[in-house]
Amino acid sequence: MSTQQIAGSLVALVTPMTPQGAVDYPRLERLIEFHIEQGTDGIVAVGTTGESATLDFDEHVAVIRATVEKVAGRIPVIAGTGANNTREAIYLGQAAKEAGADAHLSVTPYYNRPPQAGLMAHFRAIADAVDLPLILYNVPSRTGVDMSVETTLALAGHDRIIGTKEASGSLARMQALIDGAPEGFAIYSGEDNLSCAAILAGAKGTISVTANVAPSLMHRMTAAALSGQADEARAIDDQLQPLHRELFCQPNPIPVKWAVAAMGLAESAIRLPLVPLMSEFEPRVCAAMQAAGISATICR
């Protein structure tokens, strides 16, 4: 699958869970159908927002497979397959390929913090071993390692590495990647608050937390930005900015799981060591949802 097909608003989908902490597959299927109805352009399954850190291997692969089966080819499915162990990342990538994912997303190795040469070797090993389009993911605030522009663009020369999700928080960094990227290598914003500006500057889309709560608005904003309708895109983005901010009032995915539950789409259950949204933050998330025109009974 090419980057022309993977563009727009790509939701970093939450993984619904029962109050007992099991993956809630019926809710997952309903959530996927909701996103397709609302215009979401692609689904990222079992990324950070999908609680990849606390799903075991069997659950991880089962959620990818269930997502692929429910989507049934209607929009792209990108599987989260990152790990700080290269062999594990390859295993998850191969499992995503077997499950039928259209591409996979692999984060820079967290905690062990490899140097740039290690990052280069890690991602090349994954791309060599897994016959599936690969999107890199740089999020230094979570991983403790920052993949440089130079390393990213060197990796862009690999036939199977088709793009990068950039979540360094720097629009200048995204612009440097956009300016230096070879043809066919896509830049995706990993920062909801910068997504509109990044797409107007040449990014292909966003891998979005906000899209869990406002899928239609995120689709409309990215579509307008991709077609060069800057004023319309910015107007929608202004409406979304409170959500972009408040969905990170506590560590992701705590606020977004609460918001999805407030919409009646899933339970707010989340796995330890994360805990549900603290009550003092609830009015802030409610106000942001209301600013975006999102209906939630609990917020009335």
Structure confidence at residue 298 (pLDDT): 77
Structure confidence at residue 136 (pLDDT): 98
The token pair that represents 173 in the structure block = 């960094």
Q: Determine which one of 165, 188, 204, 257 is catalytic.
A: 165
207 is in an annotated binding site: yes
Please name the amino acid found at residue 72.
Answer: A
CA distance 101 to 109: 22
Could you tell me if 89 and 128 are in contact, meaning their C-beta atoms sit under 8 angstroms apart? no
CA distance 292 to 254: 19
Does residue 255 have a cis bond before it (omega within 30 degrees)? no
- Convert the chain into a string of H (helix), E (strand) and C (coil): CCCCCCCEEEEECCCCECCCCCECHHHHHHHHHHHHHHCCCEEEECCCCCCHHHCCHHHHHHHHHHHHHHHCCCCCEEEECCCCCHHHHHHHHHHHHHHCCCEEEEECCCCCCCCHHHHHHHHHHHHHHCCCCEEEEECHHHHCCCCCHHHHHHHCCCCCEEEEEECCCCHHHHHHHHHHCCCCCEEEECCHHHHHHHHHCCCCEEEECHHHCCHHHHHHHHHHHHCCCHHHHHHHHHHHHHHHHHCCCCCCCHHHHHHHHHCCCCCCCCCCCCCCCCHHHHHHHHHHHHHCCCCCHHHC
Q: Determine which one of 70, 97, 137, 188 is catalytic.
A: 137
**pLDDT-flagged residues of the chain (< 70):** 1-4, 300
Report the predicted TM-score, pTM, of the whole model to 2 decimal places. 0.96
Q: Is 97 a catalytic residue?
A: no
Please name the amino acid found at residue 223.
Answer: A
Please name the amino acid found at residue 78.
Answer: I
Enumerate domains of the chain plus CATH numbers: 8-227 (3.20.20.70)
Structure confidence at residue 3 (pLDDT): 58
Structure confidence at residue 1 (pLDDT): 58
Q: Is 257 a catalytic residue?
A: no
